[in-house]
Amino acid sequence: MPAKITGLDARLLTVPLRRSWGVEAPENHIIVTKVNTDEGTGHGFAWTPTVGPQAIQALLEHDIAEIAVGHTAEPEVLWDLLWKRLHEAGSGGLTTIAMAGLDLALWDLKARRAGVSVAGLLGHRRETVEVYGSGVNLHYSLEELVAQTERWVAAGNRAVKIKVGKPDLAEDVERLAAVRQVLGPDRRLMIDANQRWDLPTTLRALNVLEQFDLEWLEEPIRADDLWAYRQLHKRTSVPIALGENVHTIYRFRDFIAAEAVDIIQPNIVRVGGITPFRRIVELARTHSVRVAPHLLPELSGQLALTMADPVMVEDVEDSSFQQLGLLAGPGPVQIRDSQLSVTGRPGLGFDFVDRPPFVARTVTNNGQ
């Protein structure tokens, strides 16, 4: 007989980042969730680096709890019911981020009841997955950026990603040239403009930056500007990646159908959890579009091990839950020589602390 949900709790943890992501994102917010059933307890989380942690917590404690309590604890069935009821408040964004808090907890519960990890429940297809070095580093000096790249190379990373979008394109050129020199010709280099450009600016930038043999250009234009991405895709040979700010399978479908994207980057929490993430991955696979999960390597790495096609997992330097001191015990994954594997902890494997620790932040030379 399926377990019945008897309660849903949510609590907010806010922790400063060890390496500043700049003045816009000095900290991360994790909304830890616990779902109680008549046959056990599951633990999950929602996450946002900047906007709306209190709103997400309120959605979980009120609207989502009201719908979930009394329902069977089956994540795929409950997700569709929740989205149908909640999407009038927004089809994505805060709505789906909050939904992830419940969805992850239900998958954790399901795996724990089976006595395995979530990756074990879904089925391992491989033992390790490649990690690429990433950084929120546009505010770094050139010297700091080069030093970060050297750390990635020393750690064994075969691919790295840096931010672009300086007011003067010549500065982006200088920074990319320095990074490419450290990487050499054989390592892959990705760049992320974080929606800083419009279409003409992107085309001008690519005319200069494509000389650095780019693996992809990520989110140069506003993430919801499908028309502009379609025009861009027609006019460049550099692969285009986006998806961290795309929140539903319908919008991913639109970008894929419009032939506007080469690599999609769904964030497991922002799309609403494991349930919709798996559907989006299957959509991409049936259209031969690459997937590169966005952030949260301790979660996305576990799912990557279960995917039909190999992917790279993003690891932003010194930003994992383990490194920020948010976990009370060992984490669910380990990374060695740029390869991620699971530790075999049951469920999702997260045991969050009761209170966030004080985290000493690495200050850059410009004070950020």
Q: Please identify every residue annotated as catalytic.
A: 163, 294
Indicate the helix (H) or strand (E) that contains 276.
Answer: helix 274-286
- Judged by DSSP in three states, 64 sits in helix
Which helix (H) or strand (E) segment holds residue 343: the answer is none
CB-based burial of residue 225 (10 Å sphere; 0-12 exposed, 13-18 middle, 19+ buried)?
A: middle
How many other CB atoms are there within 10 angstroms of residue 336's CB atom?
11
Rg (alpha carbons) of the chain, rounded to whole number: 20
Do the Cβ atoms of 15 and 324 come closer than 8 Å?
A: yes
CA distance 146 to 178: 7
Q: What is the dihedral of CA 348, 137, 149, 342, to 10 degrees?
A: 0
SS3 content of the chain, % helix, strand, coil (to 5): 40, 20, 40
